Amino acid sequence: MSKENIYIKNRKARFEFELIETFVAGIQLLGTEIKSLREGKANIAESYCLFQNHEVYVRNMTIQEYSFGNSNNHEPKRDRKLLLTKSELRKLEGKVKDTGVTLVPLALFINDKGLAKLEFALAKGKKLFDKRESIKQRDIKRELGRIKL
């Protein structure tokens, strides 16, 4: 097993959403999916989480087909189940029923044991003026960093 760090981020999530609370969950993957993920061929930029039958699934997460796979290769954009305890599922489902709150994937990574994990957050969408404020704060921080050097 290789010890290289696979850490795929959703960079737009922190800009588009106000994060309330973060969680980490395992993902139910097929054999060719985990092999492709270890090659770093995944994208979570357009993905989101949703509830189906009291379980959480990730939709639109792209894991490219495994390059050495055969005809039994996986679908790149299939729904993938998140592995959470029942108490976590109940807690999340209650919060998601609130208006304007959604589950947004933040990062996809492989932990020290070699298991695929998804970091996601309970988030509210930002308004346009909030996004402008985020840009202003980032620019001010950048300018202060330049002045200190």
Report whether 109 contacts 6 (CB < 8 A): yes
- Tokens in use for 7? 């850490």
Average of per-residue pLDDT values in the chain: 87
Q: State the total domains in the chain.
A: 1
Kindly state whether residue 70 falls inside one of the protein's structural domains: yes
More confident residue, 28 or 68: 28
Whose structure tokens read 């490219």?
64
**Phi/psi at 17 (nearest 5 deg)?**
-130, 150
User: pLDDT grade, residue 4 (50/70/90)?
Assistant: low
**Does a structural domain hold residue 21?**
yes
Model pLDDT for residues 51-110, shown as the tens digit of each residue? 999 899 999 998 888 878 777 788 888 899 999 999 999 988 888 887 778 999 999 999
What's this model's pTM, rounded to 2 decimal places?
A: 0.79
Which pLDDT belongs to residue 1? 46
Domain-located, residue 98: yes
Q: Which of 118, 149, 135, 138 is nearest to 48 (CA)?
A: 118
Residue 120 sits in a domain whose CATH number is: 2.40.280.10
Name the residue type at position 131.
K
2, pLDDT greater than 80: no
Greatest pairwise CA separation for the chain in angstroms? 57
Q: Is residue 36 part of a domain?
A: yes
Q: DSSP code of 65?
A: P
pLDDT reported for residue 134: 84
Residue 43 within a domain: yes
Distance CA 117, CA 28 (A): 9
Asked if residue 126 is part of any domain, the answer here is yes
- Residue 30: what pLDDT? 85
Q: Domain limits at 49?
A: 7-148
DSSP-based three-state secondary structure for 58: strand
Q: How far apart are CA 135 and CA 15, in angstroms?
A: 9
Q: Is residue 1 part of a domain?
A: no
Residue 2 domain flag: no
